[in-house]
Amino acid sequence: MTRKTMVPALLLTAALLIAASIAWGADSSKSSFLSGVHKKNNVTCADCHGKSLAVDDSETALNKNCRGCHGGFEELAAKTKEHINPHKSHLGDTNCTACHKGHVASKAYCNYCHSFAMKIPAMGTEQESSDKKWVQESAPGKKELKSTRVESADVVVIGAGGSGYVASITAHDAGAKVILLEKMPITGGNSMLAAGGINAARTRYQERLGMHDDPAEMVKETMKGGRDKNDPELVKVLAYKSADAVDFLVSLGADMTDLVRSGGVAVDRTHRPVGGAAVGPHLIKVYRDNAAKRNIDVRVNSEVVQILSDGKGRVTGVQVKGKHSGVYTINAKAVIDTAGGFAANNELVGFYKPQFKETASSNQPGATGEGMFLAEKIGAKLIDMEQIQIHPTMGGDTKVLVSETVRGSGAILVNHAGKRFVNELTTRDKASAAILAQPEKSAFLVLGEGIRKSNVQIDGYIALGLVQEADSVAGLAAKMGVPADVLTATVVAYNKAFEAKKDPEFQRQDIPRPVDGPKYYAIWVKPGRHHTMGGVKINTEAQVIGKDGKPIAGFYAAGEVTGGVHGWNRLGGNAITDTVVFGRIAGSNAASFIKNEK
């Protein structure tokens, strides 16, 4: 089977990851369809839906009424008795309906990525009624393209992750009317899961610490990390606009003042919130707040099923399948594709890289790749699609990524024999290969109290049950199942390297902290797929390039949906830089294109 014949099937497989929507009958007197306490209390349709009984795709009125009856996230978080608090998480203040349904049993959205045995109070039972007014619609992906209505906008942005938000905010601030569409029930995309930070060279925060980082060095290290398969012109833009990207984030209200080092980089270039908090949830909250302040039209449960063009090389809008509204058209003067990568799509990963199909993915469930093929369908060129990155440190058998900043803060990688076996700050592909070369194809991150205190994310890993701890190295070795004498010797040798500021065994460039007590910690880790470097080809103006080598008029792209920026391996910290730098370029140029066309 060729890729071209396989793509429609893959897209359908990807679409099935999203829960099918429910078509609703208009009889407001019925409560027999309700679940749990809603049914017991004889709640009517109007109690939740309002008098009009209308449900928009973002389920706005429903969520407002949920909070009016049950309280907001902060209030609910205070009542939550579970060890893991779903109302106070990295997902932020999302729609209640992402987890809770009035008609069927609630399902924690967390479990798309985690495996929590959450006992949701009043979660109800599965739909009991056989009334035919409630029917399951066909899954998205069916070519049902007859529109029920037509809207218009200056700019439509596909995908509300980091690059989508940045492009939308930038285009709006340049005077464009923007609609931001997200197929999932929550916004944030993979950016919501970003743990480390944003790489940037020659920033004011580096200068304050006496560091004189050079964007030219960022170019060299990014090219080297990508095995020189990157588009060098895109990399130059990434590096030389990276400091401006940090300033842009700060202007929106983000905290990017803390610095740490990521793998493959010779200086502290990764900017993150103070204390080492995960950068993704922080930035997505900032983006959401800024989009709301600007009244940008952000729609969830709204999947783009087709990008429209005039057949003469110019995009004209999109067709959208709304969860409740069905298929409709948005005519637009420019379209920005920020739909993300496909590392959560097992079938697509298996097609391009069969050996990675069965590995765990750190991605959110919507990272399934449709945005790339929607672009290809109207003539966009796809590049480097087989380049799929494996991240070296995912928590054991979970989908939880253990941030590269844990190693950057001083943690060491040891094998099941208790020995270091690789430079912890090498590139992700090399670190992953080194772990997979071990007989057990897994390893341990080992760290001490000082390292734990330097990175608040480690407290989160402790709460998730990923961390073993002990009062001594020997005690930790016993819990890890490794020889105590060997692990003790490994830690002693590393601490001597810290004191000497030189690592004779593995030439680690930076050892910021020793592995010391009073407590010692270990995290069992395995490599798992994390990022797709391939995608839509763009130029330095974020214009989508067609198969004929020319830009497609009015069509822009940014973020993980694109290829060329990272080559064959992405350096940790460069993904956020990518989303901000090229998201800003795409948003600005889309707005300029509209003005020039008038």
* Residue 35 token pair: 């679940």
Cβ-contact 101, 43 below 8 angstroms: no
Per DSSP, 211 falls in state: -
Helix (H) or strand (E) holding 96: none
Q: Could you tell me if residue 573 is left (phi over 0), alpha (psi between -120 and 50 degrees) or otherwise beta? A: left
- Residue type at 363? N
The distance from CA 456 to its chain's CA centroid, rounded to whole angstroms, is: 20
Residues annotated as catalytic (active site), given as ranges: 428
- Determine the length of the chain: 598
Q: How far is CA 418 from CA 403, 404, 472, 496, in A?
A: 21, 20, 14, 17
Q: How far is CA 44 from CA 25, 32, 48, 126, 131, in A?
A: 13, 9, 7, 18, 16
Cβ-contact 167, 586 below 8 angstroms: yes
Three-class secondary structure of residue 366 per DSSP: coil
Phi, psi angles (nearest 5°) of residue 178: -120, 140
Per DSSP, 571 falls in state: P
Q: Is 11 exposed, middle or buried (0-12, 13-18, 19+ CB in 10 A)?
A: buried
Question: Which of 268, 306, 343 has the alpha carbon at shortest distance from 573?
Answer: 268
| Cα-Cα end-to-end distance for the chain | 46
**340/190 Cα distance (integer angstroms):** 8
The set of long-range contacts for 247-252, using a CB threshold of 8 Å and a minimum separation of 24, is 247/203, 247/204, 248/166, 248/580, 248/584, 249/198, 249/283, 249/286, 249/580, 252/169, 252/286, 252/287, 252/290
Strands 302-309 and 443-448: unpaired
* Residue 325 token pair: 């509204």
**166/357 Cα distance (integer angstroms):** 32
Helix (H) or strand (E) holding 567: none
**293/12 Cα distance (integer angstroms):** 36
Question: Which of 345, 328, 372 has the alpha carbon at shortest distance from 18?
Answer: 345
Quickly tell me which residue has 């929607």 as its tokens. 374
Three-class secondary structure of residue 202 per DSSP: coil
**305/319 Cα distance (integer angstroms):** 6
**158/535 Cα distance (integer angstroms):** 15
- Residue type at 343? A
* Residue 548 token pair: 């004929």
Number of H helices, E strands in the chain: 20, 21
